[in-house]
């Protein structure tokens, strides 16, 4: 019996003492916009190939009633302010905050925030409360 292997390019190697190369996050490949732990199953179906956190998976599949167990429900004014309760995940973006996705955020105080106040969302975008609605950016 003869074993024939296809031709291959010259092999490369990394010395055992060399530091491992970890490529940077690539949204086009990894598709995980917030970097939170990814959802593995939904309703008994393996969805790990989508590589999304529970909040982004729910948004992608139109299940806005599915709430992330660690989603923020409030925001306190500051420069920058903070999402509450402590340790919860902020909205993915200012657009998501404005849309109330995955959950509506209650502003504190409920009056218009003052100059320079804002909260910072997961993607780095900012928003402030104008007294009646969330607005993208920093309070003027």
Check residue 15 and give its pLDDT: 47
Total domain count, the chain: 1
How much is the average pLDDT of 96-107? 90
Strands, E assignment, the chain: 41-42, 45-46, 74-76, 82-84, 106-108, 119-120, 126-129, 134-136
Mean pLDDT along residues 106-130: 96
Average pLDDT estimate for 8-31: 48
The predicted model scores a pTM of: 0.54
Say whether 20 sits in a helix, a strand or coil. Answer: coil
Residue 110 lies in a domain: yes
Which residues form the domain of 104? 74-136
Residue 126 lies in a domain: yes
The 8-class DSSP code of residue 81 comes to -
The rounded distance, in Å, linking the Cα atoms of 62 and 59 is 5
pLDDT value at 21 more than 50: no
Whether 19 maps to a domain, the answer reads no
């Amino acid at each position: 019996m003869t074993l024939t292997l296809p031709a291959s390019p010259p092999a490369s190697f990394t010395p055992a003492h060399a530091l491992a190369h970890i490529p940077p996050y690539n949204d086009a490949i990894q598709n995980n916009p917030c970097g939170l732990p990814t959802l593995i199953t939904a309703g008994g179906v393996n969805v790990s190939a989508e590589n999304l956190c529970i909040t982004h998976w729910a948004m992608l599949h139109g299940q806005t009633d599915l709430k992330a167990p660690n989603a923020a429900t409030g925001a306190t004014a500051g420069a920058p302010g903070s999402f509450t309760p402590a340790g919860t995940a902020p909205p993915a973006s200012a657009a998501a905050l404005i849309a109330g996705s995955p959950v509506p955020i209650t502003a504190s105080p409920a009056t218009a925030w003052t100059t320079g106040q804002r909260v910072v969302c997961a993607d780095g975008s900012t928003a402030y409360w104008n007294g009646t609605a969330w607005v993208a950016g920093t309070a003027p």
